Structure 1
């Protein structure tokens, strides 16, 4: 299937590795020019080089997502470097699982305000893209933890806030032909990631978590990226305001 992304301009936050990197690579594979950011400048430089190797225009910058002015400046610069923004993906996360005051604040600053600020900065570009091409897309990466609660979880609560945010953006911008959707992964494995580290440090717990999933495994970043890129594409042009679970059926709730 041609996702009709060739020549589109995409911005992905938190894209130096893991899910964000896989999203950026799949967008590039589909022919989209890509701008990325993350905190580590060396990882950004390596990722940009790899993306350029796919034959598209790629640009990146080291950014602390919690720094609102810096994030907005990056999005503005990305739009200028690429010549527009058709797709915005908010992937960055503070990834803290405790529930101290500082954990709530970190998740608010990076996950929630990171999404709202990046959309605010990208909106003028998205409006122009939608007017010119009939479609522009905002995709937020949340988590299955948004809907699964066995104890107090700052991470789960803030990820749930992203789903509510996306629905509001979708409703408010539907007439402008700007879509907003969420992808909520379950457990995702890659070396150096959360579950990669768990496997190295607590192999028995890792095996227990594998058995919790009916598939008997965890997702790859590429499998999550496939869902995100489809939702970002014009092929998904009438889909907006949804939360797509990519969890291998680890959650038990029915989504109506």
Structure 2
């Protein structure tokens, strides 16, 4: 595991109106790019110490440097694929040891493999399930005792596709399972003082990702897709990160086992309809 400068800046990134945030420590999977990056930066801005994993070393280094430069927070990073279950479990254990406590877990890493039903192999369904269901389950299993010790919580990042039908089916099914798993684990871990919630982002506009490419390559199709949103625009990942940060905070103590859509009222989850 690589470690960015462990020197803490006393009160360095503490925001007005967010008491006690500087004492919190959070583990984020997939925390170096896209929504994961915005979540990492949002939590760092609140004064959290962080442990972040991801597959791309350059992205991890970039977000680590940004957190250090902008917020002066402790940040541990590790390059790994969450499909490597033993490495994922070790990352959570080592992160807890390095941070000294864990108040929150956010599982952002996810995705899918395969296309439509005819062209999708059983291995595609298996991999998609492992990414979106097995990975957060393992991470939470390893973090649960630490979260119980701090009265902490977990946020599993699902998708609008988990409750509004859209292809590909393997992704929709895995995200729906993730939502149900969160509510089940909330009941299991609740007596230990641990909250578990889901956030289901709508289609997010992230530079370099699919919807941004559609905007640049087929503006007409993109403008048509924007009509699926009552506000006429796709979701900003920073808006999702704000909700994740809220759910981890003590202000959300009464929220448990919930699935919170952050989709701008989106209709069809796909530019190609249901």
Tell me the TM-score normalized by structure 1.
Answer: 0.92
Shift of 1:51: 1.4
Partner of 2:223: 207
Partner of 1:66: 83
Shift of 1:251: 3.6
Counterparts of 1:1-256 in structure 2, within 5 Å, are: 1-2=17-18, 4-53=20-69, 54-96=71-113, 98-99=115-116, 100=120, 101-130=122-151, 136-149=152-165, 153-251=169-267
Shift of 1:97: 6.3
Deviations 1:11-49 (A, max 9, x none): 111111111111111111001001101100111111112
- Mean CA deviation greater in 62-71 or 72-81: 72-81
The runs of 5 or more residues in structure 1 that have no matched partner are 131-135
Shift of 1:115: 0.4
Partner of 1:133: none
- Find the residue that maps to 1:94 and give its secondary structure: coil
| Higher Cα radius of gyration | 2
Query: For residues 140 and 113 of structure 1, do their structure 2 counterparts lie closer, same or farther at Cα, with a shift above 3 Å needed?
Result: same
Counterpart contact for 1:184–1:243, Cα < 8 Å: yes
Shift of 1:138: 0.3
Counterpart contact for 1:3–1:234, Cα < 8 Å: no
How many pairs were matched up? 247
- Mean CA deviation greater in 103-112 or 225-234: 103-112
Tell me the TM-score normalized by structure 2.
Answer: 0.86
Q: Distance in 1 between matches of 2:254 and 2:55?
A: 34
Counterpart contact for 2:112–2:170, Cα < 8 Å: no
Q: Distance in 2 between matches of 1:3 and 1:156?
A: 38
Counterpart contact for 1:3–1:233, Cα < 8 Å: no
Query: For residues 197 and 248 of structure 1, do their structure 2 counterparts lie closer, same or farther at Cα, with a shift above 3 Å needed?
Result: same
- Find the residue that maps to 2:89 and give its secondary structure: helix
- Find the residue that maps to 1:89 and give its secondary structure: strand
The runs of 5 or more residues in structure 2 that have no matched partner are 1-16, 269-274
Deviations 1:179-222 (A, max 9, x none): 00011011100101221222233332222111111110011110
- Find the residue that maps to 2:50 and give its secondary structure: strand
